[in-house]
Structure 1
Amino acid sequence: MEPLRIGARASMMSLMQTAPILARLAPTPAILHPFYGAGGDRVKNRAALEADGVFSEEIETALLAGEIDIAVHCLKDAPTHDTPGLTMATYLRRDDISDCLVTREDGLTLDSLPAGATIATASVRRTAALRAYRPDLNVVPIRGPVDERLRALQDRNSGVDALIVATCSMERIGLTHRITERISTEIICPPLGAAIIALQTREGDMETRRAIFKLHDSDTEVQAEAERLILRQMGGFCNAPLAGYCTTHRVGSGALTSYTVRACTFSADGGSMIDVRHSGDDAEEVAKTVCQELKRSADGKLVKRP
């Protein structure tokens, strides 16, 4: 077999989370092709987050053109709808879906940050949650790869006291020790598709799909597809005012499986939200039920947080 040509974003986090994939594919040979021009990663003319697929267009174009065989995506950043001719062929086992706090001063938590402290994030979802939970904090925008944001945090001239980032991002770049608090998903609800790495191939490339299937996790696939269904039905994308997740529950020896699906939508100021969750034995049907309730709750209007 010819070496598999694997395309991934050229950010430090993307390359570090892709390296174990190459190792796990052994003895199948693989070659990494880093992509430096992803719209959301550019230092200059960085693409806006208010669009679908801003991190994936360049890699998908190369995959369609046959320049690579596999595209590595963080699922939350991938297009909500499958690009014609391409498919998400393999989902790796999901990592921690929570967000975490990283502070310049050691030992602080979200509750113990002093009033007026400046906390940085570019996420509409995180901003709304922070304004609801700690309205006394100063929330400011920050863009860029995780390592770039961490450098800004360490620069005392930046005025930033803390960051909210994905826990899995810190784990993947080997900086778990920098985490000062893993934040409950009840405080900051994760984005749909959080902490899932997906491997995308051309639809008809069965040889590549067979080669990577050993990396596939069936529980993650069920969760991913349920969450992507919500994104499609609710018109969401990576930085939309929409969040949620699907969890798997096994009873006894594991013969019986149920799923809980949560989704919420909210106002940017954090003052209003709709938060829905349901459980059942069919994740897709539960996700549809959640979408229906979100759409009809309060006649489609957001309700004030209690």
Structure 2
Amino acid sequence: MSEVATTTAAKLAVPSQPATVTAYFGQMFNDRPPLKIGSRTSPMAMSQARQVQAMLAEVTPDTPTEIVGIETSGDKWMGDLAQLGGKGAFLKEIDRHLIMGGIDIAVHCMKDVPGDVPMPEGTLWAAYLAREDVHDVAVFREGSQYVSLEDVPPGTPIGTSAVRRKAQLLKYRPDLHVDRIRGNVNSRLARLDTEKQFEALVLARSGLRRIGMEHRATEVLPLEIMCPPVGAGVIGLQCRTGDSAIAELLRLLDHPETRTHITAERTMLSGLQGHCNSPIAGHATTTPDGQLSLHGMVFTREGGKFAYAHEWDAPERPAELGAFVSATLLRKGARGIIDGIPH
């Protein structure tokens, strides 16, 4: 995405008291069909859509909503995502429904939103929900004698769906055999236990929690070993710029600190112009003394070469911090690393 969008719809005179807000939006939407919330059809994505639906019901219980499941080409394709144009394969059908009016709100995992594809014209990110746990975890197959990646012997097969995870795993344990596994989390867990092709998978902890499988997490990987992807643990809500009322409704769900962090991360990602096969990690946080911190990393696919940067700035300057970290990574050789990876 070439820029980090903010809500640009015309400001409406939204009341500040909860009861008045409920009545305000209830009256605004009571003469129209239910608000349609568009989502991918995977169990995790549908869980996220139900979360958004529940949050909207708390704000305006008299406003009807409906979840519309959209099967994307990325969900149907079990091969390399690069052959479909990368992570955008998870978004384009949903974007099309939003632009054409088939849905009113699009629910996206921000980690799946590519950094090198412009945002669809006429849409905006109206809200970012509060960030969830960003840690990755190791999930060992049922019956495995191991509980830690540090303990497995050289050559142990480990599965992951992300080139970012593969690069960092091989940087940590270059003697492991790390291979790609596709499919939603439920299907990957089933294959782990039944096919026994892998000793363990590396997955997002928040994703396991969302599908009620957090108990399968055997080892939580420290951020020093597994830096998360840009947008990890964040749900973004997208709507049409012309729908001012919907934009204002979603704005009530926006988490300001998360928006600040996402702005820094995605500005960095945009500056790097990485493609879907680029192992790029980025994580923004607010330090105890109130500074905005941003880690950025770019790897070769096998983790043998990487560029790293960590910088700080004032919390009011997330875009400036993201641009600075991007420039620092490029100065440290990130462009050569990214361009050297086939896509």
TM-score greater than 0.5 by the shorter chain: yes
Is 1:171 aligned to residue 206 of structure 2? no
Q: Show structure 1 runs of 5+ residues with no match.
A: 252-256
Distance 2:256 2:329 in 1: 27
Match for 2:242: what amino acid?
G
Partner residue of 1:276 out of 295, 299, 309: 309
Partner residue of 1:262 out of 291, 295, 302: 295
Q: Give the 3 Å change call, closer, same or farther, for CA 77–14 of structure 1 in structure 2.
A: same
Secondary structure of residue in 2 paired with 1:271: coil
Distance 1:45 1:126 in 2: 18
Query: In the alignment, which residue of structure 2 is the partner of 1:29?
Result: 64
Distance 1:141 1:244 in 2: 21
Aligned length: 295
Q: Does the Cα contact within 8 Å between 1:8 and 1:15 map onto a contact in 2?
A: yes
Q: Give the 3 Å change call, closer, same or farther, for CA 106–23 of structure 1 in structure 2.
A: farther
Distance 2:43 2:80 in 1: 17
Is 1:74 aligned to residue 105 of structure 2? no
Secondary structure of residue in 2 paired with 1:187: coil
Secondary structure of residue in 2 paired with 1:54: helix
Query: In the alignment, which residue of structure 1 is the partner of 2:46?
Result: 15
Partner residue of 2:231 out of 189, 193, 198: 193
Q: Which of 74-83 and 96-105 deviates more?
A: 74-83
Q: Give the 3 Å change call, closer, same or farther, for CA 205–186 of structure 1 in structure 2.
A: same
Deviation at 1:133, TM superposition (A): 1.0
Distance 2:303 2:183 in 1: 23
Q: Which of 87-96 and 223-232 deviates more?
A: 223-232
Q: Does the Cα contact within 8 Å between 2:296 and 2:308 map onto a contact in 1?
A: yes
Q: Give the 3 Å change call, closer, same or farther, for CA 284–150 of structure 1 in structure 2.
A: same
Q: Give the 3 Å change call, closer, same or farther, for CA 74–142 of structure 1 in structure 2.
A: same
Query: In the alignment, which residue of structure 2 is the partner of 1:40?
Result: 74
Bigger-Rg structure (1/2): 2
Deviation at 1:279, TM superposition (A): 0.6
Residues 128-175 of structure 1: per-residue CA shift (max 9 Å, x gap): 1111111222111100111110011111x3421100011111111111
Is 1:244 aligned to residue 282 of structure 2? yes
Q: Which of 178-187 and 101-110 deviates more?
A: 101-110
Query: In the alignment, which residue of structure 2 is the partner of 1:118?
Result: 157
Secondary structure of residue in 1 paired with 2:74: coil
Distance 2:260 2:335 in 1: 28
Query: In the alignment, which residue of structure 2 is the partner of 1:159?
Result: 197
Bigger helix share? 2
Distance 1:272 1:261 in 2: 20
TM-score calculated relative to the size of structure 1: 0.91
Distance 2:163 2:73 in 1: 19
Deviation at 1:7, TM superposition (A): 0.3
Partner residue of 2:136 out of 99, 104, 115: 99
Query: In the alignment, which residue of structure 2 is the partner of 1:254?
Result: none
Query: In the alignment, which residue of structure 1 is the partner of 2:25?
Result: none
Secondary structure of residue in 2 paired with 1:41: helix
Q: Which of 275-284 and 111-120 deviates more?
A: 111-120
Q: Give the 3 Å change call, closer, same or farther, for CA 134–234 of structure 1 in structure 2.
A: same
Bigger strand share? 1
Secondary structure of residue in 2 paired with 1:291: helix
Deviation at 1:115, TM superposition (A): 2.7
5 Å-filtered alignment, 1:180-219, equals: 180-219=218-257
Runs of 4+ residues over 3 Å off in structure 1: 43-50, 298-302
Distance 1:215 1:239 in 2: 32
Q: Does the Cα contact within 8 Å between 2:171 and 2:304 map onto a contact in 1?
A: yes
Residues 53-92 of structure 1: per-residue CA shift (max 9 Å, x gap): 1100000000000111000000111243321111111000
Secondary structure of residue in 1 paired with 2:181: coil
